[in-house]
Structure 1
Amino acid sequence: MIETADIVTFLLMGCVTYLTRIMGYLILRNRTLGPGTRAVMEAAPGCVLITVIAPYFATDRPADLIALAITLIVATRFSFLPTVLAGIASAFLLRHLM
């Protein structure tokens, strides 16, 4: 069962991610960005996603560790959406089977 604190944490993380995008747009809307600045701005949501994934590196559950390995392998070959879907599916199946 998902705990209330987890749901609140996910919602707040989503709000923070959304606010960083909106604030970035509002602050930088009249400026021209260089290639380096543009790359940093595009990588920001990925950094937030890592904060969600990182605790699973320290888990002792084999299903999570295997799902994490599968997700990392898929990430080296495919774009973001297939990687997320593979991670969710592998975690679901492995948790169910193990």
Structure 2
Amino acid sequence: MSVDPINLLAFLGMAIVTYATRVAGLALAGRLNLSPRAQAAFDAIPPAVLVAVIAPSALATGWAETAAAAIAALAATRLPLLGVVAVGVVAVVAFRLVM
């Protein structure tokens, strides 16, 4: 197997840029003095990204996945993350068995 030098440089460049942006974000986040409203907005980013990633596949794959996502969303109001994941997995398995 041979590795094309151009592709290798592209992969290494992308890895370096990705790592640099993550490290820069961590380094800068501690130095910012944010208002409570701005802090709340920053705290809302991870769940928003998670929903943006999960929602299309939950809504486009079938009724079992859509129903399980709805049940997991309801469970998320009361349970910690591990419990929500367990509820979602059990719900998908149950709905697929019913199908």
Structures share a fold, TM > 0.5? yes
Paired with 2:37 and 2:24, the residues of 1 have a C-alpha distance of: 19
Match of 1:68 in 2: 69
Give the aligned residue type for 2:37.
G
Match of 2:59 in 1: 57
Paired with 1:21 and 1:31, the residues of 2 have a C-alpha distance of: 16
List gaps (5 residues or longer) in structure 1. 1-15
Question: What is the root-mean-square deviation of aligned Cα atoms in Å?
Answer: 2.8
Match of 1:9 in 2: none
Q: Give the count of matched residue pairs.
A: 81
TM-score, structure 2 as length reference:
0.59
Paired with 2:88 and 2:20, the residues of 1 have a C-alpha distance of: 26
Give the aligned residue type for 1:26.
A
Paired with 2:20 and 2:82, the residues of 1 have a C-alpha distance of: 22
Paired with 1:38 and 1:74, the residues of 2 have a C-alpha distance of: 26
List gaps (5 residues or longer) in structure 2. 1-17
Paired with 2:78 and 2:44, the residues of 1 have a C-alpha distance of: 18
TM-score, structure 1 as length reference:
0.59
